[in-house]
Copies of this chain bind each other. A is one copy, B any other.
Amino acid sequence: MSHSPGLKLKDLGVLQKTLAPITSADLFKPDDCLCKPKSSIQVNRFLSREARIRAPSSLKASVAALGIDVISFSTGRPSPETYPFEQLDLTFSDPAFLTSSSSRNGDDYPASGPLRSIVYRNDPDSSIDISIALSYGYSLGCEQLLQFLTTHITHVLCPPYSDWEICLTVGNTSALEIALRNFANEGDCMLVEEYSYSGMLEAARALNLNLVPIAMDSDGLCSRDLEAVLSSWESCHPDKPKPRLLYTIPTGHNPTGITQPPGRRREVLAVADKHDLLIIEDDPYYYLHFSQAGTRSAATLLPSYLSLSTAGRVIRLDTTSKILAPGLRLGWLTAPKAVVETFQAAHDLGIVHPSGLSQVVVYKLLSEAWGHDGFVEWLAHLADEYGRKARLMLQAMRQALGHRGLEDICSWKDIEAGMFIWLTIDCSSYPGLDHTVESMAAKASIEEHIYTAALEAGVLCCRGSFFCVPSLSVSAEAPDRGDGDRDGDGAVPLAPSKPIVYLRLTFASVSDTDLVRGIERLATALREVFGLT
């Protein structure tokens, strides 16, 4: 957050030209960063049995013994001379690419012109070439990209402790799954927003974890409910271990689109500090915060949980999927070194490391073609473009869903980040609504009706039920949690006043014309479903 517009960021530290150099963000941190106190959480307390058993790779450890003039008969690494790749000649877009109107019409080149970067088979002038990028790499990631990210994180996120480390990942889905395996045992309970990313729900279910939904309000994850759940845990759930993990999507939340304001983040963190939680901050939409649009700097970004927790109780997950391209399968996580080491050990036995092609291409793009200021400029343009699309979508919704009877049925909140709008559909007036039917079944049936009608009208929406976290059953003697304002999923009978169905609407990959047309089709479908002809 300390990055001011116009300040030129410089990378520190010298890069090695060697295969898979053992490296660390520490090599590239400025002195004032290294002088901060260390993180204080006791990582050992959070480790799953799997993470405890998992030993560092014996082969990897043995390579560390390799010195100068030592001939290695050790690892089964092919010779780079046998790679059939001679040259990669890369052409990137200029950071201002998205501001040129031509790009929105699908033309190939913006006015400002593309940037070129070449990766040679053997390049004495570069610390990375094909022979290095396409070999087995170091399991935290290639040093060149780690250097760039260290500088970026130092200036944009400014973690308040010294011993943070970065590990490249193959994206947040994978990083999240490894986090669950590293920090939860079968049967453990994890705190999550009451609506959350369906991939997380499915990953947690496959690992047999119990999800504990925390209420959300217009500021997102409700810190008061979090505190209520935790402080009443023993009486409500005497048979279950108290949760140690909190998973949250703080910016442009999936599916509700809500962005937690700074004050809410601090409140949530205070509860986490009190109850000694480890927070998984899944933040793929962080840089798609519309307020930064046009500022050409990261100065207006919200404080990440990583930036707020001096104890270091945050595993921050970042990805290139929404800011560069999802097919890169490249992301990174930032956390205290002892936490990152558990991911490194898991990677050694699984993904090994992200694609060397993705690593070298992203390095060439970010570090060589764009530089730090170019990257920040790109992110600002991207946020601008998402903000423009969001406004267009919200305007179309006001026009098509805001009158002729739909105004009593449809409601939604404006969003300030990300790509999701959460459409709330009040089904009180649903024709033939059967109040005797149990809540879940009634809602599922209405949701199916709306979803199918929309699809028949030519618009594919995402069912809200995909994202719903069912309540844990509560002990009969439990005190009231004060969640009467919650949506009542689970075994609670349908309250006639609140038969709500949700749709998640994404505008990210829809053309301007189709945005408006799609919302009109949805309006048609809803009018048909609710008999508003």
> CB within 8 Å of B: which residues of A?
49-50, 53-55, 57-59, 62-63, 65-66, 69-93, 95, 97-98, 103-104, 106, 108-109, 114, 121-122, 133-137, 170-171, 173-174, 177, 198-199, 202-203, 205-208, 254, 321-322, 324-330, 348-359, 361, 365, 378, 382, 385, 419-420, 455, 458-463, 466, 503-510, 514, 517-518, 521-522
Contacts and interface: CB of A to CB of B under 8 A. Distances in A.
A65 B327 contact: no
B79 A508 contact: yes
Contacts of A322: 76, 78
Given A84-B93, A349-B173, A460-B71, A76 B508 contact: yes
Contacts of A459: 70-73
A327 B462 CA distance: 37
A69 B458 CA distance: 7
Contact of A351 (B92, B170, B521): B170
> 5 tightest CB-CB pairs across the interface, nearest first?
A327-B356, A355-B355, A134-B327, A71-B518, A89-B89
Nearest to A330: B355
Copies per assembly: 2
B328 A357 contact: yes
A72 B351 contact: no
B92 A198 contact: no
A506 B170 CA distance: 29
Given A66-B460, A84-B93, A53 B208 contact: yes
Nearest to A345: B206
A509 B455 contact: no
Contacts of A206: 50, 53-55, 349
A460 B83 CA distance: 24
B75 A462 contact: yes
8 contacts: A65-B455, A75-B462, A84-B92, A84-B97, A84-B378, A85-B365, A133-B327, A325-B356
B466 A71 contact: no
Nearest to A520: B71
A352 to B, nearest CB: 5
Nearest to A508: B78
Contacts of A49: 208
A140 B58 CA distance: 31
B84 A324 contact: yes
